[in-house]
Amino acid sequence: SLHIGSLVPLLALRRFQLFQTENGGFSYWPGEGYDSDWGTNYAGHFMIEAEKTGFSLPGDMKKRWIRYQQEEARNWSSSSNNYVHSRGKEAHQLIQAYRLYVLALSANAELGAMNRLREEVGLSRGAKWRLAAAYKLIGQTEVANQLVSKLSTAVSDYKELSYTYGSGL
């Protein structure tokens, strides 16, 4: 029998359909045609985790998301940074690292894109940790360990109200 705790993910997954754009990404608002990079990563992460716990995903939502994310991962470059704020470069890297992590989590790793990001000059600490997690998921533990060897886990205090929606907390 269903209880309220099991209804929440089911309802969320159905509602996600309102956010998915024609190309497979996810918008910040329902029905909007513009993809949110972080929102697309987050929605995909939720889908993968929900599926792992036995929830069925509506229609071809996951397939379209994977195709979109793989294309975004392959086409990513540091020069394509559209984030024009003080944390722009770091946010841009973190978005790609999160994208690569969730693709790896979904068993659709983009190794070429992972290797390109790993070679990025000045890769942020947060991006390194997330990218290392992606390498670990695909069984490349040595590469993962090299990425974070002697790397601090401390998070600087910050508040990001757009792009990655994060904070030091």
- Would you say residue 157 has pLDDT above 90? no
Task: Specify the pLDDT at position 97.
Answer: 97
In this structure, are residues 40 and 25 in contact, taking their beta carbons and an 8 Å threshold? yes
Q: pTM of the predicted model, to two decimals?
A: 0.88
At 2, the pLDDT band (50, 70, 90 cuts) reads very low
Per residue in 21-49, pLDDT (tens digit) is 999 999 999 989 899 999 999 999 999 99
d(CA 114, CA 34): 25
At 1, the pLDDT band (50, 70, 90 cuts) reads very low
Per residue in 49-65, pLDDT (tens digit) is 999 999 989 889 999 99
Task: Specify the pLDDT at position 63.
Answer: 97
Per residue in 54-107, pLDDT (tens digit) is 998 988 999 999 999 999 999 998 876 565 444 678 888 999 999 999 999 999
The tokens of 24 are what?
């497979």
d(CA 102, CA 5): 24
Task: Specify the pLDDT at position 78.
Answer: 80
- Determine how many CB atoms are found less than 10 A away from the CB of residue 168: 10
Mean pLDDT, the chain, as a whole number? 88
When pLDDT is averaged across residues 155-164 and rounded to a whole number, the result is: 67
Task: Specify the pLDDT at position 152.
Answer: 85
